């Protein structure tokens, strides 16, 4: 089974976008005074500007930069900061509408495809496909897997649950201990419509009863998950891994990608290069700053040490040639600022052009969607971002969603602050 292409409504007819500097997502140098032609939402031409063609509307994008829609491979779109008591008092539709607003703000930030790694059900993917809500194309893990007391287990020591875990519509946690648990849970997730399976091979931060150094899903269990998804057409298996041992277990077990990877040894990095395992470093979340007015000195020192160790780990991985895809852990990182990750990727050694590729074609490749998404090439969906920012000299400016002046999804205009495309004639 090929990866599911999440659909969205498309724009019928033809449209020519001319005059922009094109950064096509493939890693090729930018092309000034370009032309991109769309027909029924699909790119049919991308290259130098051609002579005018009668009967086809033209949008003049002179002075702008045209890029592929971005792919954020690690988000949690149902995570919305709310006081616990307020969460408990809400009606289900309040939560649904709040997630709908997160979807919209993520799309308007330039992310036209997102992989949600715990917390959304396929109903949201279906709603985006129908056009009921505007949002990124969605690939979903639905729930992540960990042992009892691990990163996926929300139960507190006294048996109670946090407010977010009892929200209506939240997927059941993927708590698994035995091989039989794993078989049953993975098959249930695939039946429900999961596009990826997420395992936690280490403990986490913020879960009630575990520690980042704890062992989670083992190498043998990762191998079992990989076998199960292969038996049903194949899906990416990705691993939350905060320790080197956890990352190594995931790589040896056959995971497609490592999420975070803040303590990788040179040996594990070499193994990732050998196997083509992708690193999704979620640097925007790693580099969050604590409020010194409320955090203790000890916590601040611990956070600074984590920053230093995590940056060193990712820099060594980048230098060794580990493939990198953009992922933010949005939900922990603020929603709607997804492209802040581009500057973080430059901080660890990618060029701005390579960072754009990590956020477009490499992300699509990780999802198995590179034949249809991730670059501006004939035959691919017309998911496009238009900005007045030169991403090769000021990539950090894209963190502000206002710098994304227009967004197209399957050729359909979903944001156009300056009327650049909606006034095509």
Domain boundaries, the chain: 14-68+377-416, 70-338
pLDDT in the model for residue 169: 80
To which residue do tokens 């017309």 refer?
382
Of 207, 217, 277, 209, residue with least CA distance to 245: 217
Q: Which stretches of the chain score pLDDT less than 70?
A: 1, 425
pLDDT tens figures, 367-411: 999 999 999 999 999 999 999 999 999 999 999 999 999 999 999
As given in the structure block, the two tokens for residue 253 are: 């077990």
As given in the structure block, the two tokens for residue 395 are: 């990539």
DSSP state of 339: T
Taking the domain 70-338, which CATH number applies? 3.20.20.140
- Taking each continuous run of H as one helix and of E as one strand, the counts in the chain are 12, 18
pLDDT in the model for residue 299: 80
**Whole-model pTM?**
0.96
pLDDT in the model for residue 416: 97
Taking the domain 14-68+377-416, which CATH number applies? 2.30.40.10
pLDDT in the model for residue 297: 83
pLDDT in the model for residue 423: 80
Calculate helix-pair angle for 179-192, 219-231, nearest 10 degrees: 40
Under 8 Å between Cβ of 7 and 42:
no
As given in the structure block, the two tokens for residue 418 are: 């300056």
User: What backbone torsions phi and psi does residue 223 show, to the nearest 5 degrees?
Assistant: -60, -40
Residues 36, 420: Cα–Cα separation, whole Å = 14
pLDDT in the model for residue 1: 59
Residues 38, 355: Cα–Cα separation, whole Å = 26
């Amino acid at each position: 089974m090929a990866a599911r292409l999440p659909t969205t409504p498309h724009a019928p007819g033809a449209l020519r976008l001319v005059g922009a500097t094109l950064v096509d997502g493939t890693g090729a140098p930018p092309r000034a005074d370009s032309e991109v032609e769309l027909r029924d939402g699909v790119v049919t031409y991308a290259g130098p500007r051609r002579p005018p063609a009668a009967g086809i509307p033209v949008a003049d994008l002179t002075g702008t930069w045209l890029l592929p829609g971005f792919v954020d491979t690690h988000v949690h779109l149902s995570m919305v900061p709310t006081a616990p008591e307020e969460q408990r008092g809400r009606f289900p539709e309040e939560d649904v509408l709040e997630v709908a607003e997160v979807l919209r703000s993520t799309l308007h930030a330039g992310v036209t495809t997102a992989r949600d790694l715990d917390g959304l059900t396929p109903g949201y993917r279906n709603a985006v496909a129908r056009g009921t809500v505007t949002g990124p194309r969605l690939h979903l893990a639905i729930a992540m897997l960990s042992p009892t007391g691990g990163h996926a287990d929300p139960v507190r020591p006294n048996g109670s649950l946090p407010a977010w875990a009892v929200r209506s519509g939240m997927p059941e946690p993927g708590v698994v201990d035995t091989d039989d648990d794993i078989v049953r849970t993975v098959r249930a997730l695939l039946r429900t419509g999961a596009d990826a399976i997420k395992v936690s091979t280490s403990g986490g931060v913020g879960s009630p009863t575990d520690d980042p150094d704890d062992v989670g899903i083992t190498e043998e269990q990762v191998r079992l998950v990989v076998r199960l998804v292969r038996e049903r057409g194949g899906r990416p298996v990705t691993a939350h891994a905060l320790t080197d041992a956890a990352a190594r277990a995931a790589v040896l077990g056959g995971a497609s990608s490592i999420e975070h990877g803040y303590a990788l040894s040179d040996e594990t990095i070499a193994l990732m290069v050998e196997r083509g395992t992708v690193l999704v470093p979620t640097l925007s979340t790693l580099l969050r700053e604590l409020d010194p007015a409320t955090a203790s000195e000890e916590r601040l020192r611990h956070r600074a040490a984590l920053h230093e160790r995590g940056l060193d780990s990712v820099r060594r991985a980048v230098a060794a040639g580990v493939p990198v895809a953009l992922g933010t852990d949005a939900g922990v990182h603020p929603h709607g600022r997804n492209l802040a990750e581009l500057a973080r990727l430059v901080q660890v050694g990618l060029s701005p052009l390579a960072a754009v590729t990590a956020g477009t074609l490499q992300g699509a490749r990780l999802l198995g969607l590179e034949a249809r998404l991730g670059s501006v090439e004939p035959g691919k969906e017309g998911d496009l971002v238009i900005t007045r920012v030169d991403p090769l000299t000021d990539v950090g400016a894209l963190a502000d969603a206002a710098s994304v002046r227009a967004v197209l999804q399957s050729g359909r205009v979903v944001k156009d602050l300056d009327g650049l495309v909606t006034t095509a004639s």
